[in-house]
Structure 1
Amino acid sequence: MKLAVFLAFLSVAVMAAMIFQAVSQELTLRFLKSRMVENTEQVKRKEDAIVEVKSKIQAMKSKLVFVNTNIDTLKKKKTDSEQKAQEFNKNLQTCNTEKQDVEKKTSGMRESMNKLKADHEQAKKKAQEDIQSLKQQILDRDKAICAFADTSKEEARKLCGL
């Protein structure tokens, strides 16, 4: 009987060890399942975050493309405006040289006009002098004629101022 008790005790001990092992494995499995669920949730959250970041990156890429095209158009506008500014500067320089040439011509014209005016004034003075001398000659001639003219006639009196 001792052997039966020993075998019963041994079988109870083996059974207890197996129950303990089964409970321990069950608890480990539950812990691993809960950990797996948590890990799955974390993976899903991280995947969602990755998808969200990818969409943000895509949006930023599209904005970047738009900004790059705007930068290109602005660069083109800048080069165009610089070329126009250079053309305007060239035109300004040509206008300034033309202006200087015109100013030189006008100063020459003014000098010649002043010279002509001076010559005109001299010619006018000379003509006045000639007119005065001719008037004097006419008066002298009239006086000489009046000395010989018949004062009884009306034309002679008019001529002589009588």
Structure 2
Amino acid sequence: MKLNYIFIFLGVGVMAVMLFQTVDREFKLHNVKAGLVMTSEEVKKKEEDIANLKTKIKGLKESLSTINSKMDTLRMKQEVALKGTKDQETKLEACNKQKADIVKKRTDIESASVKLHIDHQATKTKAQQEIQSLKQQILDRDKAICAFADTTNEQARKLCGII
């Protein structure tokens, strides 16, 4: 009988241990299920966040593509402007060369004009001196003629200045 009590006591002990393990596993299983539900909710939340981020990224890509196209057009405009600026600079250089040539020709013409003016003045003074000397010679000749001329003749009086 004692053996029966020992077996009963051992059977109840084993059952108590098994009952305790079963209850413990049930609690752990319940916690795992609750954790799984929470994890699945977090996964769904993160998936929604990822979907939202994907739409935002798509919108940003679209805006980036429009900005890139605008930048391309601006670069093309800049290239055109730079090309126009270079063309204008070459035209300006050519114009400045022409201006320098014209200024050089102008100074040459002015110096030639001044030289001609000086030559003209010198020639003019020489001509006036020559005219004066010729007038003096004519007056001397007329005086010499008046000395021999007949003062009764009207032409001779005009020539000699006699009234």
Q: TM-score, normalised by structure 2?
A: 0.71
Give the Cα–Cα distance (whole angstroms) in 2 for the partners of residues 101 and 2 of structure 1.
140
Q: Deviations over 1:43-85 (max 9, x none)?
A: 3323321321221121111111012101101111111111121
Q: Given the alignment, which residue of 30, 43, 64 partners 1:46?
A: 64
**Mapping of 1:2-13 within 5 angstroms?**
7-13=25-31
Match of 1:99? 117
Deviations 1:94-140 (A, max 9, x none): 222122122212211110101111221222233223213797xxxxx
Out of 83, 91, 107, which is 1:65 matched to? 83
**Deviations 1:11-31 (CA, angstroms, capped at 9, x unpaired):** 333222111101101101111
CA distance in 1, matches of 2:125, 2:28: 138
**Secondary structure of the residue that 1:12 maps to in structure 2?**
helix
Match of 2:137 in 1: 119
Q: Which TM-score applies when normalising by structure 1?
A: 0.71
CA distance in 1, matches of 2:29, 2:23: 10
Distance 1:134 1:9 in 2: 176
- Structure 2 counterpart of 1:11, one-letter code: L
Divergent runs of 4+, >3 A: 1-12, 132-135
Which residue of structure 2 lines up, in the alignment, with residue 86 of structure 1? 104
From the superposition, tell whether residues 123 and 134 of structure 1 become closer, same or farther in structure 2 (CA, over 3 Å). Answer: farther
One-letter amino acid matched to 1:122: D
How many residue pairs end up in the alignment? Answer: 135
Say if 2:35 is the partner of 1:17: yes
Say whether 1:36 aligns with 2:51.
no
Cross-structure match for 2:44: 26
What amino acid maps onto 1:62 in structure 2?
Answer: V
The Cα of 1:40 is off from its aligned counterpart by 3.0
Point out the more displaced range, 76-85 or 91-100. Answer: 91-100
Root-mean-square deviation (Å): 2.3
Work out the CA distance in 2 between the residues paired with 1:129 and 1:43: 125
Q: Distance in 2 between matches of 1:4 and 1:134?
A: 183
Aligned letter for 1:22?
S
* Residue matched to 1:144: none
Q: What runs of 5+ residues in structure 1 fail to find an aligned partner? A: 136-162
Q: Which runs of 5+ in 2 are unaligned?
A: 1-18, 154-163
